[in-house]
Structure 1
Amino acid sequence: MDFVIGLIAFIIMLSVIVILHELGHFLVAKHFGVYCKEFSIGMGPCLYQKQGKETAFSIRAIPFGGYVMMAGEEDGSQSEEDSWLKDIPENRRLNGIEKWKQVCIMIAGIVMNILLAWIIYMGVALAQGYVVEEAKPVVYVVEEDSVAQKAGLEKDDHIIKVLSEDGNSIQPKTQYEILEFIQYHHDT
């Protein structure tokens, strides 16, 4: 049962990544005026399709990924004989716009994946609810008959300087710095 749940989670996660990737291509292509025939979630036979102003939005039977079909993509899926492609002017085709715009459209998918990773990272970081800081150089507890008690330290004292017998000293910012100093200067 765990395998099935893991597989379903993997399919959903992969689909979200691919859909957002394709959405990046789609949004930038539309911004630059490239004609997009279809934006599809999934692959295979069409289960549902809704026609927008010029783009058909569809849900397909195989839930892996998705795609955006732009006019003028040179991936072998289109030919000049396609009836829908004949009516599209050259300046509305992917291969008919400036090269820098083509690069922006292609990079947009990667940018969306990076943005998704950042959002997930920030969500996990924010879900933690706190930031771990190193302990301040403060005396939290003084044990009976300890060296600290004999030295006159009391609870909540702030340690501003540690001095060793050989003359070395530090002004610690954390308790870790005190521990490290003591390890190197046993006569402290």
Structure 2
Amino acid sequence: MHNTLLTIITFIFVFGILVFVHELGHFFFAKKSGVLVREFSIGMGPKLVAFRRGTTSYTIRILPVGGYVRMAGAQEDESDELQPGTMVTIQTNAANEVIRLNASQKKQTLFQGIPVQISEVDLVDGLWIKGYENGDETEIKTFNVNHDATIIEADGTEVQIAPKDVQFQSAKLWQRALINFAGSLNNFILAIVVFAIIGLLQGFVPSNSTTLGHIVDNSVAQKAGLKEGDAIQKVADQPVKNWTELQTMLQSRPGKETKLVVKQGSMTKQITLTPATIKSNGQKFGQIGVQQVVKRNISDRLLYGFSGAYTTAANVLHALANLFHGGFSLNKLGGPVAIFANTEQAAKAGFISVLLLLAFLSINIGIVNLLPIPALDGGKLLLNFVEAIRRKPLSEDKENMVQIAGFIFLMLLMFAVTFNDVIRYFIK
């Protein structure tokens, strides 16, 4: 029970930071570009907490598996369209402009609110409401709406209306592209900071050279004659320039006889060994039982922020490149269930392991979000690129079709990955 609670708390902590930092990137650059951010949400589903600061409503929602920045006029923004016949309550200022509009079905009242049955409304260009006041159907009245008016939506969340001049599409193309890229940018920055913290806390950082550190007793490496201080230059006739390449090559050869070119002191020699086969998450990896050389000076520990992030990014990109190598398999992907399972292992291993998981996931999310798939940030950047080439955006209908197709694809993939993860981690 204690371990489960610790895992849940750690999962919410890790996922909460990842979502907050990612969405904060979109939020910051949207604000700087003059785009109205109507809502900043952590979590999905029904809201637990909501409050307003300035022109933005901040909400925490019940499901800790995502979040969003709701920018005026963007794909994620819900329409404020009020259908004819809808009953609302409005609140006006001294100039008789509507400053608050209650469209909620919940029992919320506005001070000195005026009941109005909507006949027509324009909250984007003209900024007016037409309707019957207090049930009097003999006269249609027109109410001007203040540019900064707010609307209480069906679920009770109060957000600012979205006039045309503060909508996402009103920003310059380069600003919209920067807003779309900013979430991943923040994830990369977070990973750099976390890796630097790890270096400072643990007192040492791994070197990315191909020089061997500790050799595990009775390991494949020790039995083959490898020693601490040896530098591996080639694996299976392929040159390796750093630890990442060395590790990748060895992991790709489980149970396969492998020739190494090794520099021992002033001599270069060939050593043949067979990496042991290690199974993890339904996949097989080669392992010979060697560890990296570690560095302990303060500058290397701080610079580990960059080197650790770079190494992790290279590994993620390599994994993406090999996603279809040897046949596509859902076991090569992981969703929230896989993250939860890895969080459980990290929580048991200690705080440093949790930080490593946080940094890895931050790089992972940053890169995956930049893939040119509709509904991801990379898909939006692709549309920005198409707009730059065409010198005009796609029509709203075509863009919506692309985004909907991408969303359906991602939902189907997420369902398949989650189902596969449940079988992998909890049934088999």
Pairwise TM-score range, normalised by the shorter structure: 0.5 to 0.7
Matches within 5 A, 1:102-113: 102-113=176-187
- Post-superposition offset of 1:182: 7.8
The TM-score, its normalising length taken from structure 2, stands at: 0.29
> How far apart are residue 34 of structure 1 and its match?
0.4
**Quick one: structure 1 residues 181 and 9, their matched pair in 2 at CA, closer, same or farther if it must change by over 3 Å?**
same
Deviation at 1:113, TM superposition (A): 0.4
Task: State the TM-score, normalized to the length of structure 1.
Answer: 0.63
Q: Determine the C-alpha separation between the residues in 2 that align with 1:109 and 1:131.
A: 28
State the Cα distance separating 1:70 from its structure 2 match: 0.5
Name the % identity: 36
Q: Which residue of 2 aligns with 1:128?
A: 202
State the Cα distance separating 1:88 from its structure 2 match. Answer: 3.0
Q: Give the stretch that moved more between structures: 122-131 or 65-74.
A: 122-131
Please name the residue that 1:71 is paired with: 72
Counterpart-to-counterpart distance in 1, 2:267 and 2:34 = 68
Task: State how far apart, in whole Å, the 2-side matches of 1:132 and 1:39 are.
Answer: 38
Q: CA deviation at 1:106?
A: 0.8
Higher relative contact order (CA 8 A, sep 6+): 1
Q: Distance in 2 between matches of 1:18 and 1:107?
A: 15
C-alpha distance in 2, partners of 1:17/1:96?
Answer: 29
Tell which deviates more after alignment, 87-96 or 19-28.
87-96
CA distance in structure 1 between the aligned counterparts of 2:191 and 2:206, rounded to whole angstroms:
23
Structure showing greater Rg: 1
CA separation in 1, counterparts of 2:59 and 2:32? 21
Query: Gapped runs of 5+ residues in structure 1?
Result: 134-178
Which has the larger share of strand?
A: 2
Q: Which residue of 2 aligns with 1:176?
A: none
* Structure 2 segments unaligned to the other structure (5+ residues): 83-100, 102-121, 125-160, 208-263, 270-428
Quote the offset at 1:19 in angstroms: 1.3
Q: Which stretch of structure 1 is more off in the superposition, 3-12 or 108-117?
A: 3-12
What is the count of residue pairs matched by the alignment? 139
- Is the counterpart of residue 59 in structure 1 residue 60 in structure 2? yes
- Aligned-residue Cα RMSD (Å) equals 2.8
Structure 2 residue 81 is the aligned partner of structure 1 residue 81 = yes
Partner SS for 1:123? helix
The list of structure 1 runs, each at least 4 consecutive aligned residues, that deviate by more than 4 angstroms after superposition, is: 82-85, 130-133
Please list, as runs of the form range in 1=range in 2, the aligned pairs for 1:129-168 lying within 5 A after superposition.
129-130=203-204
Q: Residues 69 and 125 (structure 1 numbering): CA distance in 2 closer, same or farther, change over 3 Å?
A: same
Provide Cα deviations, 1:113-132, integer angstroms capped at 9, x if missing partner. Answer: 00111111111111133578
Distance of aligned partners of 1:90 and 1:66 in 2 relative to their CA distance in 1, 3 Å threshold: same
